[in-house]
Structure 1
Amino acid sequence: MLNSEAIQDVSLNTNLLSLRAVMISMAAVQFATATLGTLVAVFFAEIGSSQEIVSLAAAAYSLGFMIGCFVIAGSIAAFGHIRAYSASAAICSIVALLFFLSENVWMLVVSRFAVGLATASLFAIGDAWISAKALPELRGRVLSIYAAMMGLMSVGSQLLLIFGPKDLDRLFVLLSVVYSISVIVIDTTRTNPPDSKSKTSVRPRALLKDAPTAFWGALAIGMVSAAVLNVAPFGASVQGVSTEDIALMIAAIYAGRVIFQFPLGKASDRMDRRIVIFGMALVATIVFLGFAVLDNPNAEAPEVRTGSLTHIAFLGALTVLGGSLLTMYSVLIAHASDRTVPVYVASSAVTMLFVWTSGSVVGPLVISALSAFFGDQALVWTITAIMASFTLFVAYQLRAVQPPAMAERTTHQNVVTTSVKVAPIEKAKS
């Protein structure tokens, strides 16, 4: 006789097997999306563009993603999930080829906006599919596996830049192929797409009132992460860092999220989450400050031998940065849920994504404007100032506001910033 835990494991395997085509397709999309974020920044450096343009391209992508999440995604069911997925993947594939065919920066900035729209549509479909088809009693475990898979794809995406063709044009063509493969896989799935048309309201004022730390944290993380992942590779490339080394640095940041997500989430379940958030923000601020002090955009990057202590320490710092920066969102989600009445938990999570995407639009725009006056160093000093300000705010909140009662606290869940479709739907009690 199988015990209840063994039966649940069998059910989990069966559930995951039924979702394999959708998960493989979404893994391909995440792989291509993460690769494209780094590759576009390096491409702009190669054609002699400026940090202002790169920042505008990052903001355009984030704006498209935000509109896709909160405007376009709601109408997907009207014209069919499979057709919407195929059309969105085709847009991403076409844009990848445009980078191969053209060096017109303004057309490419507009193209990044289109990719943002299409990517939001892809994730909305995939996330809704997985969330809806996961058995209710297994939903948390399925989504945790999904989040881990997406994190591993982000790390693995950079391997294409390290071990793939050295010609950027060929890399863009390969990404176009990956998007096409995702369509082939999802078109062959035997599971039916979701038919849910439910909508959840966005309540920024309520979130700011109930959980100001979560609100300002989501905004700050959105601003900073968009700059780090989509603009910083440009600065490194301009200073002479090779594409392979840039990819290794971004991979280290993504790896930090994979490594630290679970232990930091568990730690936040055992204490006032704001203490963990403060620690993460403080660590990120210290790392950014160190990079800002050492940064000299007018000089070529110093030659660091691969495998040397300096190289290992640098990659270690980036891994710690990724662990503190990219994992903070899910802890902030849990904190917002702690402070929110149960009926508004889903709205709170969706509002968090809205605030995060707003930050990912505003951050690059601010950096673009400041770069025009202060040069490329505006990037690192701006993100340092943003993280330092948020760290001080959390320190003030810790002193001024009492933590929620233990009876109102939830358990931490891994959450990916992909769409509104994987938002928590209720408080997960410990």
Structure 2
Amino acid sequence: MHSSLALIWTVTAATTLLQAANGLLQALMPLRMQAEGLSINSIGLVAAAYGLGFSSGCFLAPAFIRHVGYIRAFASLAAVAAVVVLAMTQAHTTLAWALLRGTIGLTFACIFTVTDGWISARAISSHRGRIMSFYMICTKLALMVSPLGIALGSIDADGFFMAVSAVMSLSLLPIAATTTEEPPAPSGVKIRVRSLFKAAPSAVVGSFVVGLVNGPVIAITPVFGVSIGLSQDKAAALLFALQAGSLAMQYPLGWLSDRTDRRYIIAALAGGTSLVSLLILFVSASGAQNLVLVSFAIWGGLALCIYAVCVAHACDIVDPGQIISTVGTLLFSWATGVTVGPLLGAFAMDLMGPKGLFIYSAVVSLALTVFVVMRIRQLPRPAAKGGFVEVVPSGAAASTITARNDTQSPSRDDAEPQPQSAASAVARADTSS
């Protein structure tokens, strides 16, 4: 596991900086739009534009990575995102916000396909959950702390947008300076929702529902906080609480998921999310601000950890050569949920008031719990496969890549996994600039 961590530190550092910028942007945009007089439905529409852009990016990402490679893809897209954030200082209409937010979604889809694919290519099934957890912990720390920066300035000025753009630009440095060879570029990769659904339906549906629920909650939480009487900085602190809870639970859940059928973890997290959504309704009505923060932390520790377990579950099942396609498909499923979710969440909030957001969350999360439990009853334990790509850190023009493919082939549902294939060497030529 330590050798795998040594090979992912640069991409983890780059993504952490990018997510620090993203976290501040998540808190800033809804508050800025609300200050400019946009309605809750308009804010939901802008959040949906992000999901639409993200889902479009999922289709473009594999071909773009194949054409330019992981490193160049990350660097060029992060630069585009930094420029788009600066353009947000001139956005004053719903259409302008939606177009810019949609462009950010498209670039982030490609970036996260790069980073998630890079990380997934470095881990075998036996420790994939922990590797993913280390990566998620670093990025969640950034997402957790950065929204608190709202208290340091005025949302009416443009300084926050310039700060976000600067940090996005800095995220290029770790990737540009890496001495570790990137994974081989994917070939012939496509988004395959139907085939992945047949292989890992719990992962596909889970990713979709995560988008349906987490998308509107993260996008509208600052507005929700203001609606229940919190100040703007305390409303932004709710995002801190969400990410803090997620951070606390990420590694323990990754460790636990490595030791059992990951679908049990998905079902338990979804069921817990439904219950805590009802808890949030109760404590927000009581006016106890500290309890509101605690309940949001618990919600984040459950709901925001589901996606990582879904990715690990799907990557256990598919062949190593399909990992990039699998990651892209799960991102597409999540993005489809994020496109629809904010519209539904904003509608529920407009119809029932602030409480509508978490009534919606409770119902949708419960539906996921029921689906995964039904899948577990139909297939007690799916067969698993795992892949690990080991790259020698080198500054040379070419490097040797050793690919390990550990295939589990149980003779019955509860049989012990049996490694099947040996390691093979593959040479990768460096791409000229």
Measured against the shorter chain, the TM-score band is: 0.7 to 0.9
Q: Which residue of 1 aligns with 2:193?
A: 204
Of residues 384, 387, 402, the one that matches 2:365 is 387
Residues 257-336 of structure 1 correspond to what in structure 2 (within 5 A)?
257-293=246-282, 302=287, 310-336=288-314
Deviation at 1:314, TM superposition (A): 2.8
Deviation at 1:57, TM superposition (A): 1.0
Deviation at 1:320, TM superposition (A): 1.6
Distance 1:210 1:82 in 2: 30
Larger displacement relative to structure 2 (253-262 or 370-379): 370-379
Deviation at 1:381, TM superposition (A): 2.1
Distance 2:113 2:314 in 1: 22
Count of residues in Structure 1 that have an aligned counterpart in Structure 2:
392
Contact residue 51 and residue 376 of structure 1 kept, 8 A: no
Q: Which residue of 1 aligns with 2:111?
A: 122
Q: Which structure: greater helix fraction? A: 1
Larger displacement relative to structure 2 (365-374 or 145-154): 365-374
Q: Which residue of 1 aligns with 2:345?
A: 367
Contact residue 202 and residue 351 of structure 1 kept, 8 A: yes
Q: Which residue of 2 aligns with 1:3?
A: none
Contact residue 113 and residue 327 of structure 2 kept, 8 A: no
- Taking a change above 3 Å as real, the CA distance of residues 425 and 149 of structure 1, as seen in their structure-2 partners, is farther
Deviations 1:201-231 (A, max 9, x none): 4332334344433332221111101111112
Of residues 157, 161, 167, the one that matches 2:146 is 157
- Taking a change above 3 Å as real, the CA distance of residues 138 and 190 of structure 1, as seen in their structure-2 partners, is farther
Q: Which residue of 2 aligns with 1:421?
A: none
Q: Scaled by the length of structure 2, what TM-score is found?
A: 0.76
Contact residue 256 and residue 319 of structure 1 kept, 8 A: yes
Q: Which residue of 1 aligns with 2:163?
A: 174
Deviation at 1:31, TM superposition (A): 0.8
Q: Scaled by the length of structure 1, what TM-score is found?
A: 0.77
- Taking a change above 3 Å as real, the CA distance of residues 201 and 240 of structure 1, as seen in their structure-2 partners, is same
Distance 1:286 1:54 in 2: 26
Q: Which structure: greater strand fraction? A: 2
1:276 is matched by which residue type in structure 2?
I
Which runs of 5 or more residues in structure 2 are unaligned? Answer: 389-403, 409-416, 419-433
Which runs of 5 or more residues in structure 1 are unaligned? Answer: 1-7, 303-309, 414-423
Distance 2:368 2:119 in 1: 34
Deviation at 1:356, TM superposition (A): 1.6
Contact residue 93 and residue 175 of structure 1 kept, 8 A: yes
1:38 is matched by which residue type in structure 2?
A
Q: Which residue of 2 aligns with 1:106?
A: 95
Of residues 57, 81, 96, the one that matches 2:46 is 57
Larger displacement relative to structure 2 (200-209 or 174-183): 200-209
Residues 61-100 of structure 1 correspond to what in structure 2 (within 5 A)?
61-76=50-65, 78=67, 84-100=73-89
Deviations 1:48-87 (A, max 9, x none): 2111111111111122122223214522454676665454
- Taking a change above 3 Å as real, the CA distance of residues 87 and 204 of structure 1, as seen in their structure-2 partners, is closer
Q: Which residue of 2 aligns with 1:246?
A: 235
Q: Percent identity?
A: 29
Of residues 19, 37, 48, the one that matches 1:30 is 19
Q: Which residue of 1 aligns with 2:329?
A: 351
Q: Which residue of 2 aligns with 1:218?
A: 207
- Taking a change above 3 Å as real, the CA distance of residues 53 and 273 of structure 1, as seen in their structure-2 partners, is same
Please tell me the root mean square deviation across aligned C-alpha atoms, in Å: 3.7
Distance 1:425 1:158 in 2: 41
Deviation at 1:363, TM superposition (A): 0.9
Deviations 1:274-317 (A, max 9, x none): 43333222211111123335667xxxx94xxxxxxx44433222
